[in-house]
Amino acid sequence: MAALAGGFACIIATPAAAQEPGQQPTRAQQLMGDIAPKLAELTDEVLLGDVWERPQLSKRDRSLVTVSALVALNRPDQLRSHIGLARQNGVTEEEIVEAITQLAFYAGWPNAITAVGVAREVFKSDAGAARRENGK
């Protein structure tokens, strides 16, 4: 399950496209196509091809909404990849932490504490990756 959740940010970052002969499988197809091909297809065509591309909300706003929902539902495995995606979509660390703090009062203190731990892991991982990129 962690492999599936951890790869979800990669799914969203990959353009949706049906696999044609000679074409590389999408990230959704790689992660779940062997066991749940319809779910992979729906991920590619509906979630990525439609929902995340709708113009009414920016990808940044969609990321913040998704992170908030995952905090409220206490889904740390999925939250991990979506915090990373939110960072890629322009949501700052401070905004993520503030959203988690706000949610503590509406979604429960334990959910917020779990989410802060996940956020800390992601932020440290991002910082380590940035240091490696910069050669420091």
Phi and psi, residue 54, nearest 5°: -65, 140
Which of 35-63 are b and which e, b meaning 16 or more Cβ less than 10 Å from the residue's Cβ?
eeeeebbebbeebbeeebeeeeeebeebb
pLDDT at residue 76 above 90? yes
**42 and 92 part of one domain:** no
- Are residues 65 and 57 in contact, defined by beta-carbon separation less than 8 angstroms? yes
Region 86-95: mean pLDDT is 97
Phi and psi, residue 88, nearest 5°: -65, -30
**66 and 47 part of one domain:** no
User: What pLDDT was estimated at residue 27?
Assistant: 86
**40 and 64 part of one domain:** no
Cα–Cα distance between 56 and 62 in angstroms, integer? 10
pTM recorded for the entire structure: 0.79
What is the tens place of the pLDDT at every residue in 24-73?
Answer: 999 899 999 999 999 999 999 999 999 999 999 999 999 999 999 999 99
Total domain count for the chain? Answer: 2
**105 and 63 part of one domain:** yes
What is the tens place of the pLDDT at every residue in 115-134?
Answer: 999 999 999 998 767 666 77
Which residue segment(s) compose the domain that 13 sits in?
Answer: 2-53
Read off the CATH number of the domain in which 105 is found. 1.20.1290.10
pLDDT at residue 8 above 80? no
**77 and 39 part of one domain:** no
- Are residues 52 and 59 in contact, defined by beta-carbon separation less than 8 angstroms? yes
What's the chain's average pLDDT? Answer: 88
What is the tens place of the pLDDT at every residue in 13-28?
Answer: 544 444 567 889 998 9
Q: How far is CA 117 from CA 28, 29, 41, 86, 109, in A?
A: 27, 30, 32, 16, 13
